Amino acid sequence: MPFARAPPRNWAISLSDMKMTQPRLHFAASRAPIAQAALSELVGLYGQHPMADADAIVALGGDGFMLSTLHAKESHGLPVYGMNRGTVGFLMNDYRAEGVHARVAAAEQEVIHPLRMRAVDVRGAVSEALAINEVSLLRSGPQAAKLRVYVDGRLRLPELVCDGALVSTPAGSTAYNYSAMGPILPIGSEVLALTPIAPFRPRRWRGAVLPRAAVVRIEVIDPAMRPVMANADSQPFTDIAVVEMQSEPAVSHRILFDPGHGLEERLISEQFA
């Protein structure tokens, strides 16, 4: 995956301008029929600006489509305003066909930074990827994985026997990380969550909260007998021997939310659901 990116648009300036003018919107939708129907409806109401001429992208789908849109459109530097035409929709706003120009112009921006993953497989091939939510390692055979965990070059766990482990950003902390009993992280916190998945040994270890600048290195013990795969936001890499993960502050993703319904509020609300 190439990492050379065009410089992001200064959204603070664009946002100010849009409050006084009608934003130019580019609509994108998942393949789900309900999302495609919404795409047809909105393009019919508001038209479709080409990406190069747009002020913002309106993404129609669920959280998975939001993540794929952020990854795919990163080089354009455009903020993304999502409307839920999927399932969970944690990263999306409610769907309404009316008043979309006004909602986008009034939206509040959240800036999130992804993880950079560098994985080496058992043949020595190197793969790189960016993950907005999390990078996870998962056993891909019948036996539990055995992992060796380093943080900033220091060995912290000589052997973790488990189904896998993941490193999550604050934005992704309510997704797979939360299902694996990891902590919910405030969106503005300078930390990452390192969470085991179905740990067997050590029995009492339930993960760690690490500084955002930490470099996490996980080595697979006996990958031939106990094969492991890695996923970066569901992008799979097989037969993994070593994975290194760290936050990438040089890459920013901009997500737009209706006022009062941003990620900070959603993360707090999730803990009282």
Residues belonging to the binding site for NAD(+) are: 63-64, 133-134, 163, 171, 174-179, 198, 235
Query: Roughly how many angstroms between the first and final C-alpha of the chain, as a whole number?
Result: 38
Burial of 13 (0-12, 13-18, 19+ CB in 10 A): exposed
3-state SS of 218-273 is: EEECCCCCCCEEEEECCEEECCEEEEEEEECCCCCEEEEECCCCCHHHHHHHHCCC
Per the annotation, the verdict on 63 as an active-site residue is: yes
204-212, long-range: CB < 8 A, 24+ apart: 205/157, 205/160, 206/181, 207/181, 207/182, 207/183, 208/151, 208/156, 209/183, 209/185, 210/151, 212/247, 212/249
Query: Which residue out of 53, 55, 63, 152 is catalytically annotated?
Result: 63
User: Any bridge partners for residue 29, and if so which?
Assistant: 60
Binding-site residues, please?
A: 63-64, 133-134, 163, 171, 174-179, 198, 235
Active site residues: 63
